[in-house]
C-alpha cells in the first residue's frame, strides 16, 4: 500500500512541475539559494562574524561545497548538484517509507541529501593535491630562473612551456598583464597572489613583491618553495597512516548494512522485531544516524594537511 501511495505522490509532483512549467533545476536551485541567502537580523550577522553563533550544520555543508566549486572553477555545476541532492533526499525518504519505518524517513532523507556535498569535499582533496604538486614544480623552476636573472617576467617566460593547468593559466595571465595592460610588476604579483588558494603560493608572491624593492631578499624564496616538498612528504605519511582506519570504517559500514538482510536468514523473529516493531525501527534509525555522523567526521578528519603562516 505504501508503494502505491508513493508512486501516486511522485506522479502528482511530476504533474505539478508540468502544469506550472517549472524545471527541476530551477526549483532546486531556488530552494538552496533561498536557504543560503535567508534574511537575517543585524544581531545574527554580528554574532556570526564574531563567532558567537555558529552557522548551522546543513548551511555550513552547502556553503562549503559552493565555495569549493567556485575555487575549482566548477561554480556552474552548483544547480546540478542541488538537483541531485534533492533527488537523493526524495530517494532516501522513499526507501524509508517502503520499509514502513517512519523514524528512518528524516535520517535517510537528510543523509542521502548530504552525499553529493560530501563527494565535492572529497574531490577538493584531490584538487588541492594536484595544485600543490604542480605548484611545487612551477615555483621551483621559476625561482631558480629568477635567482639567476633577477627578472621575474623573464623567469616566467623562460619556463612557461613547462607549466601545466591550472597553474599555467595564472602565469600566462601574469605575462599578458605585464606586457599588454600594466607594466607594474608589483601590481601584477599582487593580482596573481589571489588567483590560487594556497598559503605557500601567497607567501612566495609576497616575497617576490619584497624582492622588487630589495634584491637581497631573493634568498628567502628557496626556503618558501621547499615548504611544498615538506607538505607533500607529510601528506604522504598521513595518507599511509589513515589508510587502515579508513578501510576499517568502510568495512564496519558494510557490515552494519549487511547485517539487516543477514538477520532475515539467521532468525526471522529477530528480523521481524527489528523491521516491524517500534523499538526495532528506532534502533535502526539510530544506527543509520550514527553511520552518517561518523561518515561526516571521517571526511572532515582525513583532509590533507595545509601550511598555515
What's residue 142's pLDDT?
A: 92
Nearest 5°: CA angle at 48, between 46 and 54?
150
Q: Is residue 211 part of a domain?
A: yes
Residue 49: which residues within 8 A CB-CB, separation 6 or more? none
Q: Is residue 279 part of a domain?
A: no
Global pTM value: 0.72
Q: In which domain, by residue range, is 151 found?
A: 129-231
What's residue 47's pLDDT?
A: 63
pLDDT tens-digit readout, 222-279: 888 888 888 888 777 777 777 778 888 889 889 888 888 888 888 888 888 888 898 9
Q: Is residue 191 part of a domain?
A: yes
Mean pLDDT value across residues 277-303:
88
Instruction: Report the C-alpha gap between 147 and 154 in whole angstroms.
Output: 11
Q: Is residue 303 part of a domain?
A: no
Task: Please state the domain count of the chain.
Answer: 1
Q: Is residue 209 part of a domain?
A: yes
Instruction: Report the C-alpha gap between 306 and 303 in whole angstroms.
Output: 9
Q: Is residue 105 part of a domain?
A: no
Q: Is residue 213 part of a domain?
A: yes
What's residue 36's pLDDT?
A: 61
Mean pLDDT value across residues 86-103:
85
Do 139 and 206 touch, CB atoms closer than 8 A? no
Give percent of the chain with pLDDT exceeding 90.
11
What's residue 45's pLDDT?
A: 63
pLDDT tens-digit readout, 24-60: 666 666 666 666 665 566 666 666 656 556 666 677 7
Question: pLDDT band at 286, cuts 50/70/90?
Answer: very high
Distances (CA, A) of 41 to 35, 44, 47, 48, 97: 15, 5, 10, 11, 38
Instruction: Report long-range pairs for 28-32 (Cβ below 8 Å, ≥24 apart).
Output: 28/79, 28/82, 28/83, 28/85, 28/86, 29/78, 29/79, 29/82, 29/83, 31/82, 31/86, 32/62, 32/78, 32/82, 32/85
Q: Is residue 71 part of a domain?
A: no
pLDDT tens-digit readout, 157-202: 999 988 887 788 889 989 999 988 888 888 899 988 888 878 889 9
**Residue 288: pLDDT over 90:** yes
Amino acid at each position: 500500500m505504501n508503494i502505491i501511495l508513493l508512486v501516486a505522490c511522485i506522479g502528482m509532483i511530476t504533474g505539478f512541475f508540468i502544469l506550472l512549467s517549472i524545471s527541476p533545476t530551477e526549483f532546486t536551485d531556488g530552494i538552496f539559494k533561498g536557504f543560503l541567502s535567508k534574511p537575517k537580523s543585524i544581531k545574527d550577522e554580528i554574532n556570526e562574524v564574531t563567532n558567537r553563533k555558529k552557522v548551522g550544520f546543513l548551511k555550513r555543508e552547502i556553503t562549503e561545497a559552493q565555495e569549493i566549486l567556485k575555487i575549482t572553477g566548477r561554480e556552474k555545476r552548483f544547480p546540478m548538484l542541488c538537483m541531485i541532492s534533492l533527488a537523493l533526499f526524495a530517494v532516501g525518504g522513499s526507501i524509508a517509507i517502503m520499509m514502513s519505518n517512519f523514524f528512518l524517513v528524516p535520517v535517510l532523507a537528510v543523509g542521502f541529501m548530504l552525499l553529493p556535498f560530501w563527494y565535492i569535499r572529497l574531490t577538493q582533496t584531490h584538487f588541492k593535491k594536484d595544485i600543490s604538486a604542480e605548484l611545487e614544480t612551477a615555483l621551483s623552476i621559476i625561482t631558480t630562473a629568477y635567482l639567476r636573472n633577477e627578472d621575474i617576467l623573464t623567469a616566467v617566460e623562460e619556463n612557461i612551456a613547462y607549466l601545466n593547468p591550472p597553474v599555467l593559466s595564472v602565469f600566462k595571465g601574469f605575462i599578458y598583464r605585464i606586457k599588454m595592460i600594466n607594466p607594474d610588476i608589483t601590481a601584477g604579483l599582487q593580482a596573481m597572489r589571489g588567483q590560487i588558494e594556497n598559503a605557500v603560493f601567497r607567501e612566495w608572491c609576497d616575497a617576490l613583491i619584497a624582492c622588487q624593492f630589495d634584491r637581497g631578499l631573493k634568498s628567502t624564496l628557496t626556503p618558501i618553495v621547499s615548504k611544498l616538498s615538506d607538505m607533500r612528504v607529510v601528506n604522504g605519511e598521513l595518507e599511509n597512516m589513515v589508510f587502515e582506519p579508513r578501510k576499517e570504517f568502510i568495512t564496519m559500514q558494510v557490515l552494519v548494512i549487511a547485517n539487516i538482510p543477514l538477520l532475515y536468514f539467521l532468525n526471522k523473529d529477530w528480523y521481524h522485531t527489528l523491521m516491524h516493531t517500534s523499538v526495532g525501527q528506532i534502533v535502526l534509525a539510530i544506527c543509520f544516524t550514527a553511520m552518517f555522523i561518523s561518515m561526516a567526521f571521517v571526511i572532515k578528519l582525513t583532509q590533507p594537511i595545509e601550511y598555515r603562516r
